Amino acid sequence: MEGRLGMKLRYRITACALLLLAAALCASYTARDLGLTPAAQTAAQPAPVRSAAPERFELCEKNGCVAVIDPAVGAPVVTDIELGTLREADRRLVEAGISVSSREELLALLEDLGS
């Protein structure tokens, strides 16, 4: 009986070792694909920088809320920021239309208006 138990233990140890080896191989391939290894960092080529046209967005009023006009989309995208919650000066600016030159500036302005 002891010989059988010893044999089962050897099989279990061998199976665990094979699983650990497979896990280590998967982890090394994943690290290489994510660029976490030095070899992958030297082999990676920087992406070419495209000179795209500058982004332009327009903030306006639509159905009592602040809306964003993105030229790429065409139609205004209505936010959940209600004009009634804005200060009078901000409300007048939005009603007149605010031109924004970058996505970062747009997000900062929307965050400011929403708070």
Residue-wise pLDDT for 37-79, tens only, equals 555 455 555 555 554 556 788 989 999 999 998 888 778 889 8
Match 């004009």 to its residue by tokens: 83
| Predicted pLDDT at 114 | 85
- Mean pLDDT for the chain? 77
Sequence-distant (6+) residues with CB within 8 A of 58 are: 68, 69, 97, 98, 99, 100
pLDDT at 5 over 80: no
| This prediction's pTM | 0.51
